[in-house]
Structure 1
Amino acid sequence: MSVSQSASVPVSSGKGLFGHPPGLTVLFLTQTWAEFSYFGLQAMLVLYMTQQLALPQAQSSVIYGLYTGCAFFSPFIGGIIADRWLGKTTSVVIGGSLMMLGHFAMAFETLLFPALALVAIGNGLFIPPLAVQVGGLYHEGDARRDQAFSAYYMGINLGAFTAIILCPLLAQLYGWHWGFAAAGFGMALGLILYLCFRKHLPSEPSRASVEARQRAPLSKADWKALSTLVGVVAVVILFRIAYEQSGNTITLWLSERTERSLSGFEIPAPWFTSLNPLLIIVLTPFLMAYWRKRKESGREPNLFRRMALGCALAGMACLVMVAAAYAYAASGAPVSALWVIFYFVLLTVGELLVLPVGLALFGTLSPVQVASMMMGAWYIAKFAGSLSAGFIGTLWQVIPTELFFAIGAGATFLAALILFWMGRQRTVVAAS
């Protein structure tokens, strides 16, 4: 059974933007503003701790890793709570409200840790049921569902791009509290949109049907799907170890070792990280069209091999930074921003071949009894990867920078090899 069956009445018969149900637009905009709030905070966090709170870099990296890790471990617990007790709509509203309060609390220096805790807990309740509702918009077998997850992922990055530009700029011009307050207002707007247009979303199943669903045993096919999904999580952790440095030590590299002047204006370091979501917004429609044509011609590659290629590209991005580190060591002065731009191009293309595919796999293969929980399990990879990336970040000033980036390259190339092997095994099984 798929996620689309987790709602009692799919609404795929309706047509809205680009031929999709109106509910996809509602979920797209809700997620966009939620990500605006989350990434607005994330873009400023390390610099806020090191510059405003005068915390040591190593301690700031650990706090950053613990926070982002907890924010994406909590969806596993939040998914269970949504499946068994709260239901999807209530879970989304409570989670979004907690995140909003956390962002506003960040405006007060003494509330740093309580604020981060509120955002992390709220994120856990908010993300899984919202993503499950995307699948719930479509009937079983509807070919538009995979495209819906790609569009949904683009919404995530639209919010991230806007936040990375606006929130640090407000912080730079008017003070940190303005940047954090903007993140809070973004979350508030997302909640308002969700509540005002929830009639377009899949209806909640009755309590009796929920209890009956939970009592239904998992089939052999369900267990096989779960084992596959767990394997995907384990491998994506390796990808995340390198990927999560883009918001951590890459920000420090931009701040301290990159020439950022343009016609007398110093470009804020966090602005460069907006290249990642901007490229996702631009490239996603082209990639969707490309893969659709490949599928129609019968030449669509194995999904595991597609993810393997993405990991390999991320490894090449890390190698670009290895070369940039050698250039910095040789010159002793900030190096060209072209290095980090090339890094983000390769990393983003790799991301588009890894993360949306994984999101769609979890949305499609998760058994209905544990739909929200398994969607939360997808974020375990981000939790473990963020935690590992945070602790690896403590080596930033301890080991040579070129060796630091080489660690990320090694992790992603290993992930590529494992995914390629998984794709080969899947091909062999299908052929037999």
Structure 2
Amino acid sequence: MNANTQSSWLGHPRGLFLLCGTELWERFSFYAMRAILVLYLTDKTINGGLGWTTQDALNLYGIYTGLVYLTPVFGGWLADSFLGQRRSIIIGGALMAIGQFTLALPNSFIDPYELHAFYVGLGFLIVGNGLFKPNISTMVGQLYGEGDNRRDGAFTIFYMGINIGSLLAGLIAGTASIHYGWKAGFLCAGIGMLISMVIQLVFAQRFLGSIGIEPAAQKQLRESGSNEKQPLTAIERDRLKVIVVMSLFVIIFWAGFEQAGGLMNIYSQQYTDRMIGAFEVPAAWFQSLNPMFIIIMAPLLAVVWRRLDDNEPSSPIKFAMAMGFLALGFVCMVGAAMQQGGDMSVKASMWWLVGAYFFHTLGELCLSPIGLSLITKLAPLRLMSVMMGTWFCANAVANYVAGFIGSHVGDAGPLAIFGGIAVTAGVAGVLLVLCSSKLVEWMHGAEGNPVSARKVGEESTAPAL
């Protein structure tokens, strides 16, 4: 089943909105947990936290988020080869729900094994995410036939769903944690994961039909009438090169961006003046700025791309723009650090953080949904989920690097770290502009204005994967 055989809503297959709802609640679960993880680790034990140092907490945060983005390559391979995407999503969702509820267990149930239960819960979340994350994104692309120009718009809608979940997560989990303790925040995350699974189980057959049921590798063999794997064509090789090169720049972007859940989270808690009159804004609420800005700006940016028409930037140029916006965001954080003047007892204005999240969000919109769409355009069908997982592997490396960088704030100081990230992002953006023409050539018309694939000679092949 594809977009042409489904009833539509707002010009898109209804299956898109089912997948959007499934991902919304799964992302609510993920970001609810992320919004309070570092705060829970560093809070005093008397308040229900674990009493870790900032460096230890940020190191764990980097390892955890790195593994969350590393396991999708294995989850994608299992789905493509054996399970199929739909079954992988259900298994992964169940494991993540178990993980969230394990984290939410009251201390009276698990003393003196609270730390062991914490690690077990993280383990379930990591494995479950590996099965869930690459396959939900891949199915969005399968709703559309080759050359369907609605695909980028579909991923923008999908990405808005992700960020509605993220917006709700910071507000709900952050508020619940303040009033009822950290375990209440983890409980909210578990409930969100259950809602995601129920949506998928109840409506998938109706709105997705056969999409995602049969493993992609088996489907290709059946349709080709061959029992042997087909080798890659020259065009497929070039397109995979684009994915690899773009992944390297993705590492740089997310290594900076993911300071939001670690270093910037700590900075907002300890070094930011969060008072509005007599009200103190909870630090966890700043995690909702990014999704709020995405919900506001994603439709506006989609209109801009559409009005540019033939002048719309290519994906490499959009990635370069993302690097520029990331750099501007950290220029705002440099301003916050300069306002402190090296005196950590002085609190910086929260508006520096608001500005940073605004520019980071613009960068994210120029990179993340565009990257997801690009994978479904460039990757061969039999490798779609694997390549989506590989794409998320770049996030794994980036998240580990982000945690490593953030954990050294005590040694280098906020000004050096924020300034270093800004300079690195700016240089990466310039490099992307310089190599963009070659990357577009390797895409062979995947983004429109097609360069005839026949010129490359599809008969050229590489060893089968």
- Give the TM-score normalised by the residue count of structure 1: 0.94
2:255 equivalent to 1:241: yes
CA contact (8 A) 1:149 1:359 kept: yes
Q: How far apart, in 2, do the equivalents of 1:140 and 1:261 lie?
A: 52
Q: How far apart, in 2, do the equivalents of 1:427 and 1:186 lie?
A: 40
CA contact (8 A) 1:239 1:411 kept: no
Q: How far apart, in 2, do the equivalents of 1:244 and 1:26 lie?
A: 28
Deviation of residue 418 (structure 1)?
2.2
Gap regions ≥5 residues in structure 2 = 44-48, 106-113, 445-450, 456-465
Match of 1:396 among 409, 416, 427: 409
The equivalent residue for 1:290 is: 304
Match of 1:339 among 345, 348, 352: 352
SS at match of 1:55: coil
2:372 equivalent to 1:359: yes
Q: How far apart, in 1, do the equivalents of 2:386 and 2:398 lie?
A: 19
What does the per-residue CA deviation read over 1:386-408, in whole Å, with 9 as the maximum and x for residues that have no partner? 00011111211111210011221
Match of 2:180 among 174, 183, 199: 174
Segment drifting more, 32-41 vs 360-369: 360-369
What does the per-residue CA deviation read over 1:34-66, in whole Å, with 9 as the maximum and x for residues that have no partner? 000000000000000000100111110010000
Q: How far apart, in 1, do the equivalents of 2:291 and 2:40 lie?
A: 22
Match of 2:323 among 305, 308, 311: 311
Q: How far apart, in 2, do the equivalents of 1:16 and 1:282 lie?
A: 24
Q: How far apart, in 1, do the equivalents of 2:272 and 2:409 lie?
A: 16
Segment drifting more, 30-39 vs 252-261: 252-261
Q: How far apart, in 2, do the equivalents of 1:195 and 1:411 lie?
A: 44
Segment drifting more, 181-190 vs 11-20: 11-20
What does the per-residue CA deviation read over 1:116-146, in whole Å, with 9 as the maximum and x for residues that have no partner? 1111110010011111110111222222111
CA separation of 1:263/1:209 partners in 2, compared to 1, >3 Å: closer, same or farther? same
2:219 equivalent to 1:209: yes
CA separation of 1:191/1:413 partners in 2, compared to 1, >3 Å: closer, same or farther? same
2:68 equivalent to 1:46: no
The equivalent residue for 1:74 is: 71
Deviation of residue 162 (structure 1)?
0.5
Report the AA paired with residue 257 of structure 1: Y
CA contact (8 A) 1:32 1:190 kept: yes
The equivalent residue for 1:6 is: none
Deviation of residue 427 (structure 1)?
6.1
Match of 1:22 among 1, 10, 14: 14
Q: How far apart, in 2, do the equivalents of 1:201 and 1:235 lie?
A: 34
Segment drifting more, 182-191 vs 263-272: 263-272
Q: CA RMSD in A?
A: 1.8
Counting matched residue pairs gives: 422
The equivalent residue for 1:137 is: 143
2:82 equivalent to 1:85: yes
Report the AA paired with residue 143 of structure 2: L
Once the two structures are superposed, the pairs formed by residues 354-393 of structure 1 within 5 Å of their partners are 354-393=367-406
The equivalent residue for 1:5 is: none
Q: How far apart, in 1, do the equivalents of 2:62 and 2:441 lie?
A: 39
CA contact (8 A) 2:16 2:154 kept: yes
CA contact (8 A) 1:242 1:411 kept: no
What does the per-residue CA deviation read over 1:88-136, in whole Å, with 9 as the maximum and x for residues that have no partner? 1110000000011101111243311111111111001001111111011
2:5 equivalent to 1:13: yes
What does the per-residue CA deviation read over 1:248-302, in whole Å, with 9 as the maximum and x for residues that have no partner? 010111001111112312111010121101100111111111101111xx21122
CA separation of 1:50/1:418 partners in 2, compared to 1, >3 Å: closer, same or farther? same
Q: How far apart, in 1, do the equivalents of 2:420 and 2:33 lie?
A: 27
Deviation of residue 168 (structure 1)?
1.3
Segment drifting more, 263-272 vs 213-222: 213-222
The equivalent residue for 2:132 is: 126
Q: How far apart, in 2, do the equivalents of 1:330 and 1:49 lie?
A: 26
Q: How far apart, in 1, do the equivalents of 2:378 and 2:304 lie?
A: 24
Report the AA paired with residue 276 of structure 2: L
% identity of equivalent residues: 33
Deviation of residue 209 (structure 1)?
2.8
SS at match of 2:5: coil
Q: How far apart, in 1, do the equivalents of 2:441 and 2:404 lie?
A: 39
2:202 equivalent to 1:196: yes
Q: How far apart, in 1, do the equivalents of 2:387 and 2:96 lie?
A: 22
Deviation of residue 421 (structure 1)?
1.6
Segment drifting more, 381-390 vs 10-19: 10-19
Deviation of residue 210 (structure 1)?
4.6
The equivalent residue for 2:98 is: 101
CA contact (8 A) 2:76 2:131 kept: yes
Q: How far apart, in 2, do the equivalents of 1:31 and 1:70 lie?
A: 19
Q: How far apart, in 2, do the equivalents of 1:308 and 1:140 lie?
A: 26
Report the AA paired with residue 95 of structure 1: G
Q: How far apart, in 2, do the equivalents of 1:365 and 1:425 lie?
A: 15
What does the per-residue CA deviation read over 1:333-365, in whole Å, with 9 as the maximum and x for residues that have no partner? 212111111111111111111111111111111
Larger Rg: 2
Deviation of residue 428 (structure 1)?
7.5
Gap regions ≥5 residues in structure 1 = 1-8
What does the per-residue CA deviation read over 1:320-343, in whole Å, with 9 as the maximum and x for residues that have no partner? 111210111266421211111111
Deviation of residue 171 (structure 1)?
0.8
Q: How far apart, in 2, do the equivalents of 1:416 and 1:408 lie?
A: 12
CA contact (8 A) 2:242 2:439 kept: no
2:274 equivalent to 1:264: no
What does the per-residue CA deviation read over 1:223-256, in whole Å, with 9 as the maximum and x for residues that have no partner? 1111110111011101111111011010111001
2:130 equivalent to 1:116: no
